[in-house]
Structure 1
Amino acid sequence: MPPPPARKLVTALDIGSSKVSALIAEPTENGELKILGTGQRESRGVRRGFVADMERTEATIREAVEQAERIAGINVDDAYVGYSAGGLASTVASVEVEIGGARIEQDDIDQLLSVGKESIDPQGKMILHAMPALYTLDGLQGVKKPLGLHAEKLAVDIHVVSAEPSPIRNLDLCVRSAHLGVSAIVASPVAAGKACLSEEERELGVALVELGGGVTNVSVFAGGMLVGLKSLQTGGIDITDDIASAFGTRRVEAERMKCFYGSATTSPRDNHDMIELAPIAGGEDGTEASRITRAQLIAVIRQRLEQLTGEIATALKELGFSGPFGRQVVLTGGGSELKGIADYAQGVLGRAVRIGRPKMPGLPEAHSGPAFTTLAGLAQFAASKELDLRQLGGAETTVPKSDGGNIVQRLIAAFRTQY
């Protein structure tokens, strides 16, 4: 009797500055993912998204994956790993081939993609994604499926995300040292966008702001793909450190205060609500616990938020997300769980702002918040099997030349004219 076929499993591993989380899922016949197990550990050895301590990071990865394996009752061999550190770069390149009015066959599309791969120029970076997106037929932009249509010229936009090689190699080494293979390293904005943005949002134009522990990634989607991103070296950890420094308390106590009492918005009661404050010494030197008002706590939080939202607004402007197209912003990541932050950001940025949560049925309640958007997106990315030009062969340490111009508004306008 032949052995039963091996189960097709998907393992996601999100290695962040504040936590390391793992998820094991199994694709079902209807295309959804069945969650088998999840695991989480406090991050040790990662700073601002970069591996700073190999041994501690490796141990944390192993613990998080083992927890997920115990719950799932199965061992896994490899994982899709998220990368959220700085140094990410996004480029959209366009390539074109002559069809001569003939009916477009699969060979024509394959030739176009091959030309696109060959057009990539070395610039010393490592490609994480090189995915074809929208096609153009004789100037008609925004075509998703050109197969079978007639055209004189066929073009395609290629979305490429690249990163500095050394941090990627360090992350890869940590995962492999934890006895886990690396199926792919996925840029955090790509994964998060798949988990919390609708297809229509990605096509019409939306900005996704991931408020992580040590890094805030600002990315812009248009025409169905990620077209630009910037990393800011500020995150939720900075707010925690500000609180600890301002009131002379431990980081763990500052984090507790931020989560339970913190807010981005003010209310008349804030001057009357008192918060017990544990000193760093913990009372060992005779120091008694003091109290502060909630208004004092919120003032410290808002000072850092003012700086961060200013940087976010600058990044959005540099990415071309402005004017009538730049209307919708989605906040996700652990930092977006701060009370009132969507209303605060909406007032500062002057745009509609909502909180993005992972759209994935079956997620445990503890892993269904914005902090786990990237984790869910990694699993969805793994199950989607999107076409990547790197699968056609060729060097991996290359990036393409941009087609120039304001790619954000060009893609948004192209999509809107189709409907």
Structure 2
Amino acid sequence: MAQPRSEGLITAVDIGSSKVAALIVQPTEGGLQVLGSGQRESRGVKHGYITDMQRTEQAVREAVEQAETIARTNIDEVFVSFSAGGLYSDVASVEVGLGGQRIAQGDIDELLDAGRNSIEPDGRMVLHAQPTLYTLDGLKGVRQPLGLHAETLGVDIHVVSGDPSPIRNLDHCIRSAHLGVKSVVASPIATAMACLSEEERELGVALVELGAGVTNVSLFAGGLLVGLASLPMGSGEITDDIASTFGLRRAQAERLKCVQGSAQTAPRDNHEMIEAAGGPDGAEQVRITRAQLIGVIRQRLDQWFAAIEEKLKELGFSGPIARRLVLTGGGAELKGIAEYAQGVLGRAVRIGRPRGLIGLPDAHAGMSFTTLAGLALYAASDPIDLRRPIEEQPVTRLSPTGMVHRLIQAVRSNY
């Protein structure tokens, strides 16, 4: 039987295009101890967006229940990741005058209140509004101003916002599963917590999350998330390519990709034969060379990484900060992907794995669970956040003029 609901536990839920995963951890003196984890196939999410509320809600329920059973407890609230496109990163600055007096905690609180009121999301929903570095009389980069004297005190607030509708869909899905939403966390911020070092975030690094249905490209410098871009493509397209090329079921193609696939070629691949079960129509076993399989994978990889490189250029990933790149996500589990990416992008590339948790099961210790681990780490860090809860943020609605215009366009397109 499950134990009574426990206080102080952290539950993370990652809703992706291929899976829904849940993790329950307990903060201890030695770190975050994993108590339970769960996973279910995701059938109601496409390219990071919820497309079937009922199926997604069911997957969330089952994944959380599995984690609760293992942890022998019940949970009420969760931290949930948001990995779809439409994320924006900006910095809002605010300043107050002090007249040379010594800075007290009340002065800092007043400054942060002013910062909260200065955030202008422009119709977007704010996911994070975190004070980063303070400014004393124009001197930037102050981490702790308490007790110092200054004429003026300022702060930079890192704001991450997104399109309202998909975020509200995510929030509604979790609440429909009878769970409270403690916070919706932008996937790049959570993922960075689990696989980037503090030094990497300071010096500058690009983090590329190779998901099943969406690829997030984010830049970090000076300890901040300074750039974001998303691509509606992922490793699931490689699976589909293999399935359609060789007449296999998706599950068979996925297994073939994971077990026999690679991003790198070798001379022996032309002679190594691979057998796969028949397709959906009950056809005989498929017999191909490993070179044929890799050829299909490489064709899609070339398109994928060409798009990634284009996004890196658009984000201004150049100069001294453009030397390091970290790959993570389920797509990073493909054999030889780091060497392939290094050759294509011309930068030092490493694979980012989840770290910082005690007792993480081997089944959930791969790159596809980096965001899940990062969610738990983010929650445990308990950062100061000036955002308002999702339910308190205004809903952006169409103006009457815009609604009429859309109706006219719909009529014209149908007749």
Q: Same fold (TM over 0.5)?
A: yes
Q: Which of the numbers 303, 306, 309 marks the counterpart of 2:302?
A: 306
314, 339, 342: which one pairs with 1:343? 339
- Kindly report which structure 2 residues correspond to 1:110-125, keeping only aligned pairs within 5 A, or say none: 110-125=109-124
1:121-140 equivalences in 2 (<5 Å): 121-140=120-139
Q: Kindly state the Cα deviation for residue 256 of structure 1 after the two structures are TM-superposed.
A: 0.8
Alpha-carbon distance in 2 for matches of 1:252, 1:143: 53
CA-based RMSD of the aligned residues comes to 2.1
Contact between 1:142 and 1:223, CA under 8 Å: does it hold in 2? no
Q: Which moved more, 1:160-169 or 1:117-126?
A: 117-126
Length-normalised TM-score, structure 1: 0.89
Q: Structure 2: 5+ residue runs without aligned partners? A: 397-415
Q: TM-score, normalised by structure 2?
A: 0.90
Structure-1 separation of matches of 2:367 and 2:350 = 11
Helix, strand or coil for the counterpart of 1:141? strand
| SS of structure 2 residue aligned to 1:358 | coil
What are the Cα deviations for residues 59-97 of structure 1, in whole angstroms up to 9, with x where unaligned? 111110110011000111111011111111111222223
Report how far residue 379 of structure 1 moved: 0.9
User: Which among 356, 367, 376 is matched to residue 352 of structure 2?
Assistant: 356
Q: 1:291 to 1:392 in 2, by over 3 A?
A: closer
Report what 2:94 is aligned to.
Answer: 95
Alpha carbons 2:87, 2:162 under 8 Å: kept = yes
Cα deviation 1:137-189 (Å, max 9, x = unaligned): 33333221122223333322211111111111111111111111111111111
Moved more, 98-107 or 298-307: 98-107
Counterpart pick for 2:284 among 263, 276, 288: 288
Describe the SS at the equivalent of 1:390.
Answer: coil
CA deviation after TM superposition for structure 1 residue 136, in Å? 2.5
Q: Does the CA-based 8 Å contact 2:104-2:146 persist in structure 1?
A: yes
Q: Which has the higher contact order (CA 8 A, sep 6+)?
A: 1
Contact 2:5 2:75 in 1 (8 A): no
1:315 corresponds in structure 2 to 311
Change (3 A) 1:212 1:6: closer
* Residue 362 (structure 1) shift: 1.7
**Is 1:77 aligned to 2:60, yes or no?**
no
How far apart in 1 are the matches of 2:121 and 2:90?
Answer: 13
Is residue 249 of structure 2 the alignment partner of residue 253 of structure 1? no
Helix, strand or coil: the match of 1:121?
coil
Q: Which runs of 5+ in 1 are unaligned?
A: 400-419
Higher mean displacement: 51-60 or 120-129: 120-129
Q: State how far apart, in whole Å, the 1-side matches of 2:155 and 2:392 are.
A: 20
- The CA distance in 1 between the partners of 2:390 and 2:267, in whole Å, is 62
Q: Matched residues in 2 for 1:19 and 1:200: separation?
A: 31
C-alpha distance in 2, partners of 1:393/1:48? 22
Question: Which stretch shows the higher mean deviation, 41-50 or 142-151?
Answer: 142-151
Partners of 2:298 and 2:149 in 1: CA distance: 57
Q: Give the length in aligned residue pairs.
A: 392
Distance in structure 1 (CA, Å) of the matches to 2:272 and 2:193: 40
- Distance in 2 (CA, whole Å) between partners of 1:270 and 1:29 is 50
C-alpha spacing 1:54/1:391, structure 2 compared with 1 (3 Å)? closer
Other-structure match for 2:364 = 367
Please report how far the alpha carbon of residue 397 of structure 1 lies from its aligned counterpart in structure 2 after TM superposition.
4.8
Map 1:224-303 → 2, pairs under 5 A: 224-281=223-280, 283=282, 287-303=283-299
What's the CA shift for 1:392? 10
Q: Give the percent of matched residue pairs that are identical in Structure 1 and Structure 2.
A: 67
Please give the secondary structure, in 2, of the residue aligned with 1:17. Answer: coil
C-alpha distance in 2 between matches for 1:27 and 1:347: 41
Name the residue aligned to 1:376.
Answer: 373
Spell out, residue by residue over 1:311-355, the C-alpha distance to the aligned partner (whole angstroms, 9 max, x if none): 111212222221112111111111100001111111111111111
Is structure 2 residue 173 aligned with structure 1 residue 174? yes
Shift in Å, 1:264: 0.8
Q: Is the CA contact (8 Å cut-off) linking 1:81 and 1:182 kept in structure 2?
A: yes
Instruction: Find the aligned partners of 1:9 and 1:138 in 2 and give their Cα distance.
Output: 42
